[in-house]
Structure 1
Amino acid sequence: MIKVGTQFLLVSSVLPLALLGTAAVGQKGAKGKGAHPVAPVRKATAKSTQVSYEKHVAPLVQKYCTGCHGAKSPAAELSLVGYKNAASVLKAHGVWEKVSGNMSAGHMPPAGTPQPTQAERDLVVGWIDATISQAYCDLDDPGRVTMRRLNREEYNNTVRDLVGIDLRPADEFPSDDVGYGFDNIGDVLTISPLLMDKYLLAAEKVAKAAIQAPETQSKPVRFPGSRLDGDGGADFAETGGRLLGTERGDVGVAYEFPRAGEYTVRIGAFAQQAGPEKARMGVRLDGKEIRVFEVKAVQEAPEVYSLRVRVPAGKHRLSAAFLNNYKKPELPAPNDRNLIVDFMEISGPLEAPGALPAAHRRIISVSPTKATRIAAAKKVLGDFARRAYRRPVTKDEVNRLVRYVHLAEKQGESWERGIQLGVQAVLVSPNFLFRVEANADPKTAGKKSRLGSYELASRLSYFLWSSMPDEELFKLAAKDALQDPNVLAAQARRMLKDPKAKALADNFAGQWLQLRKLSVVAPDTKEFPTWNDGLRQAMRTETEMFFTAVVTQDRSVLDFLDGKFTYLNGPLAKHYGIPGVEGDAFRKVALQGDRRRGILTHGSILTVTSNPTRTSPVKRGKWVLEQILGTPPPPPPPGVAELPDDKKGPLTGTLRQRLEQHRSNPACASCHARLDPIGFGLENFDATGAWRDKDGEHPIDSSGTLTDGKSFKGPAQLAAILKTKKPMFVRSFSEKMLTYALGRGVESPDKCHVDDIAAAVASKEYRFSALITAVVQSDPFRLRRSETPQKMVKR
């Protein structure tokens, strides 16, 4: 093998770029296309109005607001005194955005105080929104670029699509940080020393799994008894093996299988025989029994038990278990049957003569001869780097990769081994690990520019697939066709029909709806004895299938609020009390009655917004305000204790009664007036989403009155009221989708575009495709504020 420290070579030649100058690695190979200043693509859309602050808005603010929000001791430390004109309002636009949001939601003025008429409310909210929106539109700024690395899901999916093997190496990486509710936000995706080490290991693993080189062919690997782990065995000193004396547990080894294929497993074993039958040994792969052997051998003549098994690439556990324990101490010896495992040996994969893995054939598309080996290396590594870097590559870049082939051959190793090393170098390059959107022309710094066509292809593919572009996107990028908004929209529609669009359900919906939390919630099984992991997974599947149906069937996004269908299997239907669904397979079910509507009544949502032993109207109300309406409440004031989970303590009665006592504290009242009624509307669902009419001995009261004065009784009426707030939902949903698509938080200039996206969705009957089309055709998605490489690196 190569004697030079390969990892040192790769790190010293490639990775420093990630820290010192990644932003400058760029689009020279892209022929400079698409990286030029452009004239403004859109103009401000906020309508002019004859309403003025001084004549129309200020008197209403004085009449309804300054009583609480005056100059002295204003509520929430927010004073609305001292604003004289539109200019002064714009200087404090953040304050007035809150005023607009609270008035449009009906939260302000608070109940019990004089209320404006609907016309007065519309006038104030309309003027604030139009004034601030006009100011944002006038900025004409598509936002800054943050160079960001691939997160774990993006890394796994990109490797899968690049080499054709679903290895999921990033499952071993540290967890990604989250910003603005998502884990693809460039500002929080940092690189730690541990992650750099993981990158090196992952690159080696992928290269060896994808490319077959003579030096890295798997030789038999033997694990003596001392290296076998498991909770079912004890050391057997006489042979160095492991003794299994009960049917509990097993002994084995977690082994990194370099690639998918058939492997030979050999197990040296014997038994201490007793009773009427011979010992039986079960061989397991990842806990699933794949073969049973009758072990007739004894210590004086141990035997080797061999089998062949097909194993996917990656780490899997092979183990041996004792299946028929026998112990009768009251009988004469031998009266105790035991199994002893001396070693396990793994060899493979066992390829047919001349056969090469599909990934190998995919990457090495030419057969080198002695005369053409360097030209072949340039072709192979150039093609691989082009796809991995998601753009054309320069001659310089290819020549640097071919050095690894020279190095391998110089030290007596094969051409294929050199290609392996070149692939490793690509996989630790910042051009692979980062989505680089650098300026081709420094003169464009500070100006609005189009994204390069290859950059736009990557934005689109990582938005909808969480992975690299496919060949169709690459071909369109090469022709600059993606700069046409209609082509971009057509590609988005095509991509939503591809199976890879499931990533949108996994990664966008999984975080927007907080489904990922479902894997860690732990309802108390004493309180909820029907809860189990099968139910947990079924709940997640239901919501993911519902989201996928909205995407693939191009349904209205308003179905999220009150959709009258869902997807159930037998166990989940039984949990919900819905008859007529049997078996483990999921199917579409039309919802009858008025108990369940939309995602709000999915078990997944109801469970992640509950406590282990009881429901939480506060958490459920907060979830609706944040994830559905986009009006998150402020954090609770310091020093205010949470409501205890149990019913002991100073607060008594039903959960509703205890919450009402809790919010009698003035410090809690204003927020709870927004949170609790929504949560009360969902009280018929217990902490695992099952319907109930009583909480213990107390009948459930699921009625409520929102801060805008609208009353409801039960979840169906609550869903109907929420649907009347569809402008708020659609705007919130649009903002979250744009945040996810851009990989950055929405900034002030973006809000004008969010309004445009929401309006476009409403004009197209709220179809999901209208949302995606409006996002990918928006200025923040297609354009950027150019910056110098130095500024990007400093950031």
Structure 2
Amino acid sequence: MKKSSALHTAILLVTSLMMPESNAEDSANDIQAIMPDKYQQLFENYCYECHDSLFEEGEVNLETLSFDLGHDLQTAETWQKILNVLNSGEMPPKKEPQVPAEEKTAFLGDLSNQMVSARKILSDNGGVITMRRLNQREYVNTMKDLLGVAPDVSELPKDDDTGGFDTLGASLFFSSDQFEQYMSVAKESFALAMRESPPLKSKIFRVEPEMGASRNYRERLEAYKEAIKRSDAFFAQKEKPATDFGFGDAYGARRSRQNAVDWIPQLEEYLGRPETKTGATLQVTIKSGGFVTVKLPGLSSDDAGNYVLRVRAGAYPDASKRLQYLEFTKKVSGDSGETRLGWRKIHGTVEEPEIIEFPVTHIAGEKAQYIIHQRSHQGRGDKNLWTYDRKVNGMGTTPGGWIDWVEIEGPSAPAEDTRNPLDEVFFEKPRNWDDATYARAVIEKFAGRASRTEAPSEEFIEKLFGLYENRLEDGLNTEQALVEPLSVILSSPSFLYMVESTGSQGKPRLSERELAVRLSYFLWSTAPDEELLRLADEGKLSDPEVLSQQTERMLADDRSDRFVESFLHQWLDMYRLDMFEFNAVSYRDFDNATRESARREIYETFRTLMDEKLPLENLLKSDFVVINDVLADYYGIDEVEGWHFRKVKVPEGLPRGGLLGTAAVLAMGSDGLRSSPVERGAWVLRHLLNDPPPPAPANVPQLSRLEGEILSARELQEAHQEEPQCAQCHVKIDPIGYGLENFDAAGGWRMEELVKAHGGDGEKSFEIDSKGALYDGTEFSGFYELRDVVYSRLDAFALGFTEQLISYGLGRPYGFTDYDLAQSITKQAHAKDYRIADFIHALVQSEMFQTK
């Protein structure tokens, strides 16, 4: 069979098996939830001025709002917003006429009662868990479990951003025209997994870096000296053109001479160091803005395995703490940049170097080179910093470390797990089986594992076996011929989708296997392991005690780090940490090492709370931080050695402990140059107080009247409050941000804000005013009091955390009908001091989690 014909057959096979939509019917309900018509007058008196058909502020139009709360989810959710803003005192705005207390109490009482009825009415219609495709994280993890290799997902459908989690079904779809993409990735993954790797034979290769850097610098020095001679010779005569002296024209001759004069001092200073004759001093290189780097020999696609990079290095004692580190990176063939792997502090000196080891795993099929240099900034940050330092000291940024030699040792096989997942796919053929029997068994077993919940149909297996036979006719051997049908399995909806069968009406409970799948993808972002499937097949997993034991086991497993990182990254909007390039001159210590360590601090803190069964309140305020040596240097905490993260008591007087004191959260509330009270205030409202502000209006003014003025962050935000379309939101958001103004854009503590004129000279210093108040009137005088105020709202934080956990775990947005579930989970966790694991247990044990 021709290749195109085989592919066409595979496409027809898969598209014919696309999963049907749910045909669940809505249940009838005789309950009513209708607000009395008399409250139309309340809206007319106090609300229509802003929320009528003409203005619709906050996208709320009360003139057309149905008083039948059970009409649909959108109506009910609008009434829920009304209840929330009246309860909190946000509406009507304080400058507007207020609803009399007696009238407001009656309205809120009626509305609260009707909300209970509305939730009952809509509970069968809302909360639908959309059948969804595996997101890219889940797809990669599942493929690694099945084949032992990580697939290249760069050409696969993206996880469309819906403003929520990447587990939300509405954004994860699959169409038949994408089948070829998945099919191609599956085949490439099989080809990589089936490669015959040569026997592992460990070896050591050493690099002496002085052979590179010092030789390069000597050659440059000679070239610059020669350029000066040629330039002087050209200008000393008038008969011969510049081209005879190696220059394009007179301007080129002058420029070359000036470059040489500029750079010769640094070259001579570097080569004048005795240690550069036996090693390499790490610093920003001449003119290019790069680094003195030590590069190890490249590893090919066949060199997979574990390696150890070994470096003999010393630090210069007078260098900044930041530069007394080694940065390890990887350059993959075909990629434009380097991947940062990690950092190690140098404790030795040039006179007494130490040996530092850094483990790496080289991936099969990847060509890569490992590189070592000093700590780096984003983009052009190091070059900008070097240029600034050169104006000060004439030499640029001073070096921090020196490398005597580097070696790489490996490869070695993983010590903890030598099992090859492919051995389970192509298991050993029994002696009494022929090839056809074996091939059919391989297909059946693999299809069963890949589909996860239900055994594949006989029709599906038969068609897959037909593909296998067609490939045999093309001259392939048994294993090679099986790649096509097995790749079809990995491209079919039964594998790519979280498949849960549906009943004829209502919301039937998950089957045991479906429960195992939902739990595993929730906590591990991959398919269930053998123990989960065994318990499911024995009908025991849904037993509350067994389910609790399995949840506890899975949380203790390292694979739950996937939940920690993906949930926190999306819940806390941590993508903002990569949105801006921080000014290296202003924030020289907030480099890549600090930024990545700050990101990990959030994950490791949450992980520590889980492992040690500590209360959720520690995310709001705690007497400890979870940091490594990089962050210890940044925060000014002594006696923290080593790259690993651990709990450290916060010294007296340091503004750390809790999310509000972390460099990551504070840096996310800036633009890389200045702190942003509005971004920080909105983040606190959204993530800590569970009171998200409405989106900014489309017509935000640019305040051109202030062009050229140097204003503090507070003055700038107060100017926005003068604009009518901005005032209502800013008056609620900005004061919270003011309470965090003692932190600069990169999360460093300050008492003054230094503001430079935009696009010009001049600067002005402002004393920080961190006083503010929440919208309900609760005042605070600075960061510590703001943190205490937020901490006092622990119940609101816990409820917000629960709502986000529900959305992530169930794969759909948190909605109006989830109110009772959120209240129940929060109540159960509260009874156990709000320990993180108890929120998770309560969700897993809930009827909603176990319902289709």
TM-score, normalisation: structure 2: 0.68
* SS in structure 2 of the partner of residue 783 of structure 1: coil
CA-to-aligned-CA distance 1:135-188 (integer Å, 9 cap, x gap): 11233326334222111100111112223x242433564542122421222211
Deviation of 1:765 (Å): 2.3
The 1:311–1:557 alpha-carbon spacing in structure 2 relative to 1, beyond 3 Å, is closer
Q: Letter of the aligned partner of 1:467 in structure 2?
A: T
Question: CA separation in 1, counterparts of 2:500 and 2:480?
Answer: 32
Listed as ranges, the matches of 1:312-711 within 5 Å are: 312-317=363-368, 358-369=420-431, 371-391=433-453, 392-439=455-502, 444-591=503-650, 592-593=652-653, 595-642=655-702, 649=707, 652-696=710-754, 697-711=765-779
8 Å CA contact 1:210–1:259 kept in 2: the answer is: no
Q: Letter of the aligned partner of 2:429 in structure 1?
A: S
Q: Letter of the aligned partner of 1:666 in structure 2?
A: P
Deviation of 1:75 (Å): 6.5
Q: Letter of the aligned partner of 1:562 in structure 2?
A: K
1:754 equivalent in structure 2: 822
Question: CA separation in 1, counterparts of 2:196 and 2:432?
Answer: 17
The 1:100–1:247 alpha-carbon spacing in structure 2 relative to 1, beyond 3 Å, is closer
The 1:155–1:81 alpha-carbon spacing in structure 2 relative to 1, beyond 3 Å, is closer
Question: CA separation in 1, counterparts of 2:748 and 2:834?
Answer: 31
Q: Structure 1: give runs of 5+ residues left out of the alignment.
A: 27-34, 218-231, 233-245, 263-283, 289-308, 322-348, 785-795
The 1:498–1:69 alpha-carbon spacing in structure 2 relative to 1, beyond 3 Å, is same
8 Å CA contact 1:453–1:483 kept in 2: the answer is: yes
* SS in structure 2 of the partner of residue 695 of structure 1: strand
Q: Name which of 108, 111, 114 aligns with 1:131.
A: 114
Question: CA separation in 2, counterparts of 1:113 and 1:88?
Answer: 31
Q: Letter of the aligned partner of 1:698 in structure 2?
A: F
* SS in structure 1 of the partner of residue 616 of structure 2: coil
Question: CA separation in 1, counterparts of 2:841 and 2:718?
Answer: 45
Deviation of 1:572 (Å): 1.4
8 Å CA contact 2:304–2:361 kept in 1: the answer is: no
8 Å CA contact 2:92–2:98 kept in 1: the answer is: yes
CA-to-aligned-CA distance 1:168-224 (integer Å, 9 cap, x gap): 43356454212242122221123479954442332122212333589x99xxxxxxx
Question: CA separation in 2, counterparts of 1:409 and 1:84?
Answer: 66
Deviation of 1:748 (Å): 3.4
Deviation of 1:569 (Å): 1.8
The 1:53–1:598 alpha-carbon spacing in structure 2 relative to 1, beyond 3 Å, is farther
The 1:86–1:357 alpha-carbon spacing in structure 2 relative to 1, beyond 3 Å, is closer
Q: Name which of 20, 23, 46 aligns with 2:19.
A: 23
8 Å CA contact 2:144–2:150 kept in 1: the answer is: yes
Question: CA separation in 1, counterparts of 2:798 and 2:108?
Answer: 17
8 Å CA contact 1:86–1:131 kept in 2: the answer is: no
Question: CA separation in 2, counterparts of 1:465 and 1:259?
Answer: 25
Deviation of 1:661 (Å): 1.8
The 1:630–1:693 alpha-carbon spacing in structure 2 relative to 1, beyond 3 Å, is same
The 1:312–1:475 alpha-carbon spacing in structure 2 relative to 1, beyond 3 Å, is same
Moved more, 103-112 or 736-745: 103-112
CA-to-aligned-CA distance 1:461-503 (integer Å, 9 cap, x gap): 1111111111122122223333444443332222111111001
1:223 equivalent in structure 2: none
1:272 equivalent in structure 2: none
1:769 aligns with 2:837: yes
* SS in structure 1 of the partner of residue 508 of structure 2: strand
8 Å CA contact 2:675–2:745 kept in 1: the answer is: yes
Q: Letter of the aligned partner of 1:734 in structure 2?
A: T
* SS in structure 2 of the partner of residue 687 of structure 1: coil
Deviation of 1:541 (Å): 0.9
**Identity, % of aligned pairs?**
30
Moved more, 672-681 or 649-658: 649-658
Deviation of 1:708 (Å): 0.3
Relative contact order, higher structure (CA 8 A, sep 6+): 1
Listed as ranges, the matches of 1:287-326 within 5 Å are: 311-317=362-368
Moved more, 710-719 or 149-158: 710-719
Q: Letter of the aligned partner of 1:108 in structure 2?
A: M
CA-to-aligned-CA distance 1:271-308 (integer Å, 9 cap, x gap): xxxxxxxxxxxxx98589xxxxxxxxxxxxxxxxxxxx
Question: CA separation in 1, counterparts of 2:715 and 2:127?
Answer: 48
8 Å CA contact 2:564–2:603 kept in 1: the answer is: yes
Deviation of 1:437 (Å): 2.0
* SS in structure 2 of the partner of residue 22 of structure 1: coil
* SS in structure 2 of the partner of residue 314 of structure 1: coil
TM-score, normalisation: structure 1: 0.72
Question: CA separation in 2, counterparts of 1:39 and 1:193?
Answer: 33
* SS in structure 1 of the partner of residue 800 of structure 2: helix
Q: Letter of the aligned partner of 1:415 in structure 2?
A: T
8 Å CA contact 1:454–1:474 kept in 2: the answer is: yes
Q: Letter of the aligned partner of 1:576 in structure 2?
A: Y
Moved more, 138-147 or 178-187: 138-147
8 Å CA contact 1:53–1:86 kept in 2: the answer is: no
Q: Structure 2: give runs of 5+ residues left out of the alignment.
A: 200-215, 217-290, 308-329, 333-337, 340-359, 373-410, 755-764
Deviation of 1:127 (Å): 4.6
Question: CA separation in 2, counterparts of 1:654 and 1:167?
Answer: 49
Q: Name which of 123, 126, 145 aligns with 1:140.
A: 123
